[in-house]
Amino acid sequence: MRIEFFGVRGTAPTAPRRGSVYGGHTPCALVRTSAGTDFIVDAGTGLVSLAKSPAFSRRTSLRILHILLTHFHFDHVSGLPFFPEIFRAGADLRFYSSGPAAALRRRLEEFMTGPYFPVEFKATPSRKSFGRVGRRPASVGGAKVSSHPLHHPQGCAAFRIEENGRSVVFATDTEHGPGGADEGLAAFARGTDALIYDATFTPAEYAAGRKGWGHSTWAAGVELARAAGAARLVLSHFNPDHSDAKLGRLEDAARRRFPRSLFAREGLILRLER
């Protein structure tokens, strides 16, 4: 299984500075299984970069894409209208969320329509289907995919993708509880090879008025990774106000507490192999 990150910021994209380490796009990642199935997790502005990436653009024949949407806040869907595959007649786009398929379709149609965008979602030539991923693992493209509800305003879902004895869990937007690690999420992520987790705030920022905003910290991510027995912790969904220098210091702090942790960045590739 191969995971590549194309957007790791939260809330809003940031203008890239020369030599930017972590990048400025909002959430999007590509998971390619050993069988060659492509999963796109979230459709933030990083989706535009994904479409231009060598690993993706070389696949010019009929393509099936499984697109998992954790929720519908703008930073997680704003790249969709600018994704070339939407406009390609040969593309087969299969969208999934943790809610009803009909609601998923309706929300995407409402998002990409006039007067907000000149081409309506339902008028684009790609083939589209809509499905629901629940808590029980379901077979999708030869992999097992499941979801778990997260603590986030208006709802959000974590996704777990399992294939060939390896797994990855995306928990992009969630808030930890007063007792520390979310026990339900820890159980969902039990034994995963890679846990991708929300690190929007520092612990000090969170304590100084961000409780109830639906986001977490790198320190809570460390607690969760330990509780889940995760092999690796990948922190993401960074605050747009945090500079590369600040993120670097926070990454060092996370590694001191959990050596198998790192901060996601655009272009980062993880390979989960036996």
User: In the structure encoding, which two tokens stand for residue 76, read together?
Assistant: 């997680």
First-last CA distance in the chain: 9
Measuring CA to CA, how many Å separate 46 from each of 12, 51, 72, 93, 211? Answer: 11, 9, 15, 17, 27
What is the reported pLDDT for 19?
59
Count of Cβ atoms closer than 10 Å to residue 103 Cβ: 13
Q: Which CATH superfamily is domain 2-271 in?
A: Ribonuclease Z/Hydroxyacylglutathione hydrolase-like (3.60.15.10)
Q: What is the pTM for the complete model shown?
A: 0.96
Q: Which long-range contacts (CB under 8 A, 24 or more apart) does 214-217 make?
A: 214/151, 214/152, 214/153, 214/156, 214/173, 214/174, 214/175, 215/10, 215/152, 215/173, 215/174, 215/175, 216/174, 216/175, 216/176, 217/176
What is the reported pLDDT for 15?
79
User: In the structure encoding, which two tokens stand for residue 1, read together?
Assistant: 């299984």
Report the distance separating Cα 182 and Cα 224, nearest Å. Answer: 7
Q: Using alpha carbons, select from 222, 237, 107 the residue that is nearest to residue 171.
A: 237
What are φ and ψ of residue 76, in 5° steps?
-110, -5
Amino acid at 111: F
Q: What is the pLDDT along the chain (274 residues), one digit of tens a residue?
A: 999 999 999 999 997 766 589 999 999 999 999 999 999 999 999 999 999 998 787 665 557 999 999 999 999 999 999 999 999 998 999 999 999 999 999 999 999 999 999 999 999 999 999 999 999 999 999 999 999 999 999 999 999 999 999 999 999 999 998 877 899 999 999 999 999 999 999 999 999 999 999 999 999 999 999 999 999 999 999 999 999 999 999 999 999 999 999 999 999 999 997 6
What is the reported pLDDT for 178?
84
Per-domain residue ranges of the chain: 2-271
